[in-house]
Amino acid sequence: MDGVYQHFRPEEQPFIDAASGWIVQAENQYSPYLTPFIDPRQAFILQSLISKNSEFMLVSLLTHERQRFLIKPDYFEENEADYQMCLFSIRYPSKFSNLSHPEILGALMNIGMKREVFGDILNVGNDWQFVVEEEVANYVQLNLTKIGKVNIQLERLPFTGALAIPDDFEHKFVTVSSMRLDSVVATVLNISRQKVKIMIEGGLVKVNWQVVKQANFECTENDMLSVRKHGRIQVLEQIGKSKKDKLKLNVRIKG
């Protein structure tokens, strides 16, 4: 595995080990393996591992950020039921109450849900939805009756009823002096590097949904950066160097 580890971060080794085990199980049984919900960076790593085996592929049902994937052999034709997921719509008195992403996330965690058993929390206007593993769906429906002080009910929906989330990310090409976290954030958001360093050390910046307090943290492809009050940046790819030997990046930005 050392040859694989060298292409990724040391802290990603536990996920690499788990993902490699999923692939081995799919190969040994020559049948699909269903993953838990994983984030885009983890999906990138998993796809990188699978690409070494031409007989298997990675497929998903939805186009959300956090997804549940099937590692499947070429012959297998999947259907919706194979993903073993449930889509819930949150019913609440929207004329008198408001919900927020942090409140819904906190409510799910408070009833004992681990992050890998549910996907994105979707929102358009006053409508809120989320996806969970089918195995825990009944438990969630029985126990999630309040979000904050708001009484709610959960309604199961077919996946054809999933909210269409607009892709309001803006594509942008930038040149950075390095892949350091402070350099990437400062350049993309046009903020001074010193100010960004203070923000990072103050815990205001996340990489792949985890707080990173080291300004010299090295970013890489498919990293999702979240900067409090400034939005999100997804590093898509490095596309060479400029004439001044700076790195050219393709990124997506959402304010």
d(CA 170, CA 77): 35
**Burial (Cβ within 10 Å: 0-12, 13-18, ≥19) of residue 212:** middle
170-254: CATH topology is: 3.10.290
| pLDDT per residue rounded down to tens, the chain (255 residues) | 667 898 899 999 999 999 999 999 999 999 999 999 999 889 999 999 998 777 899 999 988 889 999 999 999 999 999 999 999 999 999 999 999 999 999 999 999 999 999 999 999 999 999 999 999 999 999 999 999 999 999 999 999 999 988 878 899 999 999 999 999 999 999 999 999 999 999 999 999 988 999 999 999 988 999 999 999 999 999 999 988 899 999 999 998
d(CA 195, CA 191): 7
For tokens 């838990």, what's the residue? 36
Q: What is the pLDDT of residue 2?
A: 61
Instruction: At 127, list the tokens.
Output: 């409508």
d(CA 133, CA 204): 31
Q: Does domain 83-161 have CATH number 3.30.70.330?
A: yes
Instruction: At 107, list the tokens.
Output: 């409510």
Q: What is the pLDDT of residue 62?
A: 87
Q: What is the pLDDT of residue 209?
A: 87
Give the start-to-end residue ranges of the domains of the chain.
83-161, 170-254
